[in-house]
A and B are shown apart, each in its own frame.
Chain A
Amino acid sequence: MAGEGDLKLLGLLVSPFVVRVRMALSMKGVSYEYIEVDVFNKSEILLKSNPVHEKVPVLIHHGKPICESLAIVEYVDEVWGGAAPSILPADPYERAIARFWAAYIDDKLFPAWIGAVKAATEEEKAEKVSQTLAALARLEEAFAKCSNGKAFFGGDTVGYLDLALGCNLFWFETLREMFDVELIDEGRTPLLASWAQRFGEAAAVKDVVPNVDKAVEHAKKMRRMFVH
């Protein structure tokens, strides 16, 4: 299905937040113009469309920008509401729980693992990894409750919370490659481990996940710039 009117996405290939939005668009079968932005040397279009944060992703629909990946995913789900599948659960209570955990992922899990990537010392890295594992332990419990014995957080098919967490998976592989650390492992978080496998294979989201090499390259660039 073609995007309604003009639809552009400003992004960075290796940003998990951008990947999250691309997964949502892919689920809806919506076409859009993807514009890769250099986040180290911000372009005019980014500064104009997200003056508040100067960050990606930014979805520009009919010339109007929408920022914040979770808000964009909800927007996509609402605008292309007719296009199956639905991203957010139908039930208000399940929606609230999904939103709670999505916010938890962004507020607690993300800063921990990105902190490990940027860590200046081994000590700091170990601390951040430990925080990441603690957050994942919580998410393991959340999976048990939300999935109700089914394949995904969203039930039988990939949903909002699957996207919220799933977009981080390629970065977990990146951390394994860079630091030899296993974040989601069968021993500690068996439910998440088997979910991660299924999510990785889900057709709707597979194509927008970048190669781990690109993420490694970006991580090294970040470390060169920010770690002194």
Chain B
Amino acid sequence: MAEKGVKVFGMWASPMVIRVEWALRLKGVAYEYIDEDLGNKSDALLRYNPVTKKVPVLVHDGEPIAESAIIVEYIDEVWKDGYTIMPADPYERAQARFWAKYADEKCNAAIFPVFTATGEAQSKVVHEAQQCLKTLEKALEGKKFFGGDAFGYLDIVVGWYAHWLPIIEEVSGVSIVTEEELPLMKAWFDQILAVDVVKETLPPRDNTSRKTLIYTGSRAQGQGALVPVGNTNRYQRFPPTAGNLPESLPRQRIEVLGFLEGFRDIGLFHIASMHQKRVWV
């Protein structure tokens, strides 16, 4: 009996997963979304992606595909009569693939340390992140989107910056994408955040609608979870004596930490301890 339909295995805060959702929504393809607890991956995920065990995984009529950028190209090819994601011209396609790889390899590696660095080291990593983004920004010159007039492949790949970089900036107390340093990128952020599929899927910055977050702490420090406290903006440790997790965290921090967990599998306690003095009020 053949399995039919489209499933997406993801994690709610993952920027890689959201790429797949954007692509499917642009094409008007209905899909079942399955949220994974990355600290306790489902059998299904491990079966569908035994090689890297990561999200996102797209399962189309029972056949799995992993690697978000590859999944996006697949979606564009299968539902070829819908919205056009990849550029039509071979040279433009090569450029888009080049920049997607650059962003995922170099820019992400430059951005991540901004969140974990403190003191003097932080201004150095901020500068490096800006340099990386300035290089990427060149591909925006004279255009509204990386894809030209319309939101396209490269916008899908790096669009998460528009939501997450301002959050990283706020939590870390730095500025990366400024009018001065990265004017094109800043303008592009506004374009991205106005795109319908983006608006539909980004996790909310304000606490108007929330998802329940159960988070398991780092392996070294002992297991525990952070659960929402009633209808408030905060999460608290559960059970109260669980490991060495901080007692409570405001939701904004959880979003970023959840994202980092998905992104880099770093323990909550580790991040929390580095920012103990700066983050908790």
Residues of A within 8 A of B (CB): 52, 61, 64, 66-68, 70-72, 74-75, 78-79, 92-93, 95-97, 99-100, 103-104, 138
Contact = CB atoms under 8 A, between A and B. Distances in A.
A103 B93 CA distance: 17
Contact of A74 (B71, B94, B102): B94
Contacts of A71: 94, 97-98, 101
A189 B95 CA distance: 36
Contacts of A78: 90, 93
A100 B91 contact: no
A96 B94 contact: no
Given A61-B91, A78-B90, A100-B65, A93 B73 contact: no
B273 interface: no
A66 B91 contact: yes
Contacts of B67: 99-100, 103
A96 B65 contact: yes
A72 B51 CA distance: 26
Contact of A64 (B66, B71, B91): B91
A99 B75 CA distance: 14
B58 to A, nearest CB: 9
A93 B77 CA distance: 9
Chain B interface extent, by class: 20 to 34
A67 B105 CA distance: 15
A95 B78 CA distance: 11
Interface string B68-97: 001101100110000000000011011101
10 contacts: A52-B135, A64-B91, A68-B101, A71-B101, A74-B97, A75-B90, A75-B91, A93-B63, A93-B74, A96-B70
B60 interface: yes
Given A92-B74, A95-B74, A68 B97 contact: yes
Given A78-B93, A79-B90, A138-B51, A93 B101 contact: no
Contacts of B91: 61, 64, 66, 75
Interface string B120-164: 000000000000000100000000000000000000000000000
Interface in B98-120: 98, 101-102
Nearest to A61: B91
B98 A97 contact: no
